[in-house]
Structure 1
Amino acid sequence: MTSLTGTTTGTPNPAGIAQARIDPRVLVIAGAAAISVSSILIKLADVGPSTAVFFRCFLALPPLAWMAWHECRRVGMPTLRAVILQLFGGILLGVDFALWSQSILMIGAGIASVVVNVQVIVVPALSWLILGNRVPRRFLFALPFLFGGIALAGGVIGGGVAGPDLIWGTVLSLVSGIAYGGYIFMVGFTGASDRAASQVLISTISAGIAGSMIGSLWGRIDFVPGWEAFFWLVALALVGQVFGWVLMGRSLPRLSAEVGATLLLMQPVLAVFLAVLLVGERPSVMQLLGCVVVVGAVSAVSVKRTRAVPA
């Protein structure tokens, strides 16, 4: 993802040498798997969006702060420009967290994870609108397939029963994907493998504030959600927010953009598989077909786009 790519700076350090010994493709797959588990953990916690976002971000702050402190000792403090951009990007990430958490409760963990994957489409669109970069032809060609796949996955078309929750849940997941695409675009200029922890820490702070406020539209924060829910929220913070994103930030800059984008497409597929396996979700055949169409359209756009950009 663009948000976590960049060039490393500073002098070599033992941590960087240790990371170089591990195939970055393995780290990306592990990070994608960790993030794909997030939707399952949110559903298992069975709490409102504001509660899920608050605990996800709040519980992640201590380990992220510890990692960022050691990181800053090695490579120095991030620039003020980077901090401002990452704080603003975190607000977009908070919008994504809140809307996505609610969509999971409405349409299920697997389908929500596929629909939100439109984030990969948003980045070239923003590059064209804001930076004036040329839009690849495959982007325009993939758009009808993308939205057709989203409609299938959400049960809007295809002969399924599309109730209000299914339709609105799909809309919320789609908007959350757009917000997350904005997050990717905003922090893409500041991400670097040697500053992954500080970038995730800064974004998590503003994401927690913004996401908790937006999530309050569906209910206030429950500060005592119960021990079982708290257990799943701790797992969400550590696995999805800390482990997953830091792995992404430290591995993607070491891969070609094409390889990284292709490997990240495993995330929605893993989410659907885990939703069926762990929480008993049973998407229809047409919804599964929609998932395949969305992943295929995103794959076509992301691979073509990254090939056009020099390494």
Structure 2
Amino acid sequence: MAPVDIRNPRLLAASGSVCISASAMFVKLSGTNAGTAAFLRCALALLALLPLALAERHRVGPRAPRLHLLDVAAGALLGVDFVFWVASIRDVGSSIATVLLNLQVAVFPLLALAFSGTRPGVRFWRTLPLMLLGVALASGAIGSPEPGSDPLSGVLYGATAGVAFAGYLYLTRLGGGRGHTAAPVCVSTLAAGVTSGVLGSLWTGIDLAPGWGALGWLAVMALCGQVLALLLIGPALARLEPVTGAALLLLQPVVAIGLGVVFLGERPTLTQYAGCALVLGSVWRTSRPAH
């Protein structure tokens, strides 16, 4: 059997996607509101990212100021994504909120087309309707939602998070592949913390002392779903076509649904499962190498 190539960008993106998939579960277990979860996950992640970024600077030198500006802009969008995504978890559950976040699969390639002229290709346009239908079914916007959920506000919050996340991914791709891995993630996380802190304070408020249990769950989420995930995804996106990168990140909702069912007792309906099946099929179809 051939050894697994850990430098394979597809493998890196898929691994990062799996790490992110557990984030919603940790947010729900923490019991914190949108502003608190978004701000504290950034603050906790910075404790791990700062030493890594400083060590990287000593090893490979400073990052260009122009690229730092891209990192800041990406981080501002990431902060918006964090707040609205946690809000959607409250309304539609952790697993479905992760599905909604992946509206980026449609937005990310379109941003690349609009700003850099990278054409998605025929396969993207053919699978896009199925991707969007899968997201709509999984959220409960079409078909039967999970009892106790609020698909309307959940879709609104999730769609906002997905668009912001797509912008983050696009700017990350523009600034990636320049020899730095930890520095851009660190700067983006700092910017995300500022943005989520301002937005969260104005909207839900921020509890800086939610209790040790909540802090523990948020710390696990920050290390797994943010530090590790973004360190894997950032370099991978710079080496992948926009459509392939966006599609591989759609593995998140499939894994998240399994985690929500097993560990949180969430019970998506049959139509929601059908939507997840469409999402998974679209991932497989879009990310296959062209022949």
Whether TM exceeds 0.5 here: the answer is: yes
Where does residue 233 of structure 1 map in the other structure? 218
Q: CA deviation at 1:138?
A: 3.0
What amino acid is aligned across from residue 253 of structure 2 in structure 1?
Answer: P
The corresponding residue for 1:144 is 129
Farther off after superposition, 124-133 or 200-209: 124-133
Counterpart for residue 94 of structure 1? 79
1:161 to 1:258, Cα distance in 2 relative to 1, 3 A = closer
Q: 1:187-202 to 2 correspondence within 5 Å? A: 187-192=172-177, 194-202=179-187
Displacement of 1:187 in angstroms is: 2.2
Q: Which one-letter code corresponds to 2:78 in the other structure?
A: L
What aligned pairs does 1:210-229 form with structure 2 within 5 A after superposition?
210-229=195-214
Q: Deviations over 1:141-168 (max 9, x none)?
A: 3333233222211212224578882211
Q: 1:175 to 1:300 in 2, by over 3 A?
A: farther
Bigger Cα displacement from structure 2, 30-39 vs 159-168: 159-168
Bigger mean CA deviation after superposition, 270-279 or 235-244: 235-244
Say which SS state the counterpart of residue 181 (structure 2) adopts. helix
Give the CA deviation at 1:140.
2.9
1:295 and 2:241 equivalent? Answer: no
Q: Is the Cα contact below 8 Å between 2:78 and 2:192 reproduced in 1? A: yes
Task: Determine if contact 2:77/2:167 at 8 Å carries over to the other structure.
Answer: yes
Q: 1:77 to 1:171 in 2, by over 3 A?
A: same
Alignment equivalent of 2:58, drawn from 73, 81, 84: 73
The answer for the alignment partner of 1:12 in structure 2 is none
- Cα 1:193–1:296 shift into 2, 3 Å: farther
Q: TM-score, normalised by structure 1?
A: 0.82
Alignment-mate amino acid for residue 93 of structure 2: G
How many Å apart are 1:237 and its aligned residue?
1.5
Q: Distance in 1 between matches of 2:234 and 2:178?
A: 5
Which residue of the partner structure matches residue 266 of structure 1? 251
Under a length normalisation based on structure 2, what TM-score does the superposition of the two structures give?
A: 0.87
State the one-letter code of the partner of 1:165: D
Summarize the Cα distance change of 1:114–1:299 in structure 2 as closer, same or farther, 3 Å threshold. farther
**2:98 corresponds to which residue?**
113
Aligned partners of 2:250 and 2:75: how far apart in 1? 22
Name the residue aligned to 1:122: 107
Contact 1:154 1:167 in 2 (8 A): no
Partner of 1:195: helix, strand, or coil?
coil
Identity of aligned residues (%): 40
More deviation, 176-185/142-151:
142-151
Pairing 1:178-189 to 2, within 5 Å after superposition:
178-189=163-174
Residue equivalent to 1:249: 234
* AA in 2 matched with 1:294: V
Instruction: Indicate how the Cα distance of structure 1 residues 263 and 134 shifts in structure 2: closer, same or farther if over 3 A, else same.
Output: closer
Written as runs of structure 1 = structure 2, the 5 A alignment for 1:12-91 is 22=6, 24=8, 28-91=13-76
- Bigger CA drift: 63-72 or 265-274? 265-274
5+ residue gaps, structure 1? 1-19
* 1:282 has 2:267 as partner: yes
Unmatched 5+ stretches in structure 2: none
Moved more, 97-106 or 190-199: 190-199
| Cα pair 1:98 1:212 within 8 Å, conserved | no
**Letter matched to residue 150 of structure 1:** V
CA contact (8 A) 1:41 1:235 kept: yes
Q: 1:213 to 1:296 in 2, by over 3 A?
A: farther
Alpha-carbon contact 2:105-2:250 (below 8 Å) kept: no
| Shift, 1:136, TM fit | 2.1
Taking a change above 3 Å as real, the CA distance of residues 257 and 153 of structure 1, as seen in their structure-2 partners, is closer
Partner of 2:193: 208
Structure 2 CA distance for aligned equivalents of residues 188 and 253 of structure 1: 5
Change (3 A) 1:132 1:255: closer
CA contact (8 A) 1:49 1:212 kept: no
Change (3 A) 1:133 1:108: same
CA drift at 1:23: 5.9
Mapping of residues 160-171 of structure 1, within 5 Å? 160=145, 165-171=150-156
Between the aligned partners of 2:290 and 2:67, the Cα distance in structure 1 is 27
CA RMSD of superposed structures (Å):
2.8
Deviation at 1:253, TM superposition (A): 5.9
Check whether the contact 1:34–1:240 (CA below 8 A) recurs between aligned residues.
yes
Paired amino acid for 1:40: M
